[in-house]
């Protein structure tokens, strides 16, 4: 398989090359032959929404997802999430990644936070459906349960998706499968199968889990192959479950952020080619 063929479904999430502007990231992808790009709202806003949409469209890139909506346990989440859905439409992507939020401020009531997340997604789903946008609930690693996401497993995300469908009839809710967050889960492969069978794998993000965990626990992600995860087994699993979309590489890591974007993207491509294309 030639490298060019192998890159057909590769996407660069713009936070992987954090110091690049959106324009630089788009140019980098075009230059190195990466056809997909995962966007974040902050970088889009810096560039201007309409201009960003034009930029990626004219570059011929596929926008594989927009990060992020969610934070349903915060005030004003509803309006902000509707805006995020509108941004998806403008940017030409049908996937909004949801980081659902942690405990309510000052609260230790985890069941209440989880109920609020379910309610928030059920409230949002009809609007997403009406705009043709799929909601990809991203289970985050349990170390982020209190402050970022009370959805900690893929099974839990799918339970929410099914309950939202029961309540609203909306079928657009699914999950973002990110290897870093869910690799440890004893039920993960059966849940990937379940998600695929229901057409609920809306995004697949790949990065590795580094040990030891760094002082800022958010930044312990590494290039594919540099950590403890058998990432190829996840790429095979999502394909086998029927996922035909992109592999988006999203890495939070200070050392990688301090590396020139061109070099980081080259490494992303090399690892993808070496480890994830010949499955």
Q: Which CB sits closer to its own copies, 65 or 73?
A: 73
Q: Which CB sits closer to its own copies, 155 or 174?
A: 155
Smallest gap from Cβ 35 to its own copies, in A, equals: 28
Q: Which CB sits closer to its own copies, 66 or 275?
A: 275
Query: Which residues are at the interface with its own copies (CB under 8 A)?
Result: 103, 108-110, 114, 141-143, 145-147, 152-153, 155-156, 159, 183-186, 209, 211-215, 217, 228-230
**CB-based burial label for 202 (10 Å; 0-12, 13-18, 19+):** buried
Pairing of strands 208-209, 221-222: antiparallel
Q: Which CB sits closer to its own copies, 95 or 241?
A: 241
Smallest gap from Cβ 278 to its own copies, in A, equals: 17
- Contact residues for 46 (Cβ-Cβ < 8 A; gap 6+): 21, 22
- Contact residues for 79 (Cβ-Cβ < 8 A; gap 6+): none
Q: Which CB sits closer to its own copies, 139 or 261?
A: 139
193 three-state secondary structure: helix
Altogether, the residues listed in the chain come to a count of 279
Q: How far apart are CA 155 and CA 269, in angstroms?
A: 30
Kind and range of the H or E element at 89?
helix 77-91
Smallest gap from Cβ 234 to its own copies, in A, equals: 11
Contact between 187 and 172 under an 8 Å Cβ cutoff? The reply is no
Q: How far apart are CA 80 and CA 73, in angstroms?
A: 13
**CB-based burial label for 217 (10 Å; 0-12, 13-18, 19+):** exposed
Q: Which CB sits closer to its own copies, 20 or 183?
A: 183
Smallest gap from Cβ 141 to its own copies, in A, equals: 6
Smallest gap from Cβ 176 to its own copies, in A, equals: 17
Smallest gap from Cβ 169 to its own copies, in A, equals: 24
Sign of CA dihedral 109, 115, 120, 121: positive
Q: How far apart are CA 179 and CA 232, in angstroms?
A: 10
Smallest gap from Cβ 188 to its own copies, in A, equals: 9
Q: Which CB sits closer to its own copies, 179 or 277?
A: 179
């Amino acid at each position: 398989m030639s490298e060019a063929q192998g890159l057909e479904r590769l996407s660069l999430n713009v936070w992987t090359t954090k110091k690049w502007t959106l324009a630089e990231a788009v140019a980098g992808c075009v230059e190195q032959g990466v056809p997909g790009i995962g966007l974040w709202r902050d970088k889009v806003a810096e560039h201007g929404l309409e201009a960003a949409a034009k930029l990626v469209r004219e570059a011929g890139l596929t926008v594989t997802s927009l990060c992020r909506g969610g934070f349903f346990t915060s005030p004003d989440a509803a309006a902000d999430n509707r805006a995020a859905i509108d941004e998806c439409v403008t940017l030409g992507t049908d996937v909004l990644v949801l980081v659902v939020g942690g405990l309510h401020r000052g609260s230790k009531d985890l069941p209440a936070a989880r109920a609020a997340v379910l309610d928030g997604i059920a409230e949002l789903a009809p609007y997403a459906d009406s705009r043709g946008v799929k909601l990809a609930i991203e289970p985050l690693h349990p170390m982020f349960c209190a402050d970022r996401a009370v959805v900690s497993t893929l099974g839990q995300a799918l339970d929410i998706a099914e309950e939202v469908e029961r309540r609203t009839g909306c079928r657009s809710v699914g999950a973002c499968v990110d290897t870093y967050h869910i690799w440890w889960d004893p039920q993960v492969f059966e849940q990937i199968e379940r998600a695929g069978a229901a057409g609920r794998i809306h995004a697949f993000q790949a990065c590795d889990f580094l040990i030891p965990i760094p002082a800022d626990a958010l930044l312990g992600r590494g290039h594919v192959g540099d950590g403890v995860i058998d990432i190829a087994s996840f790429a095979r699993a999502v394909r086998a479950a029927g996922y035909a979309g992109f592999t988006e590489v999203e890495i939070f890591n200070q050392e990688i952020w301090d590396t020139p974007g061109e070099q980081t993207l080259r490494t992303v491509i090399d690892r993808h080619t070496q480890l994830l294309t010949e499955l």
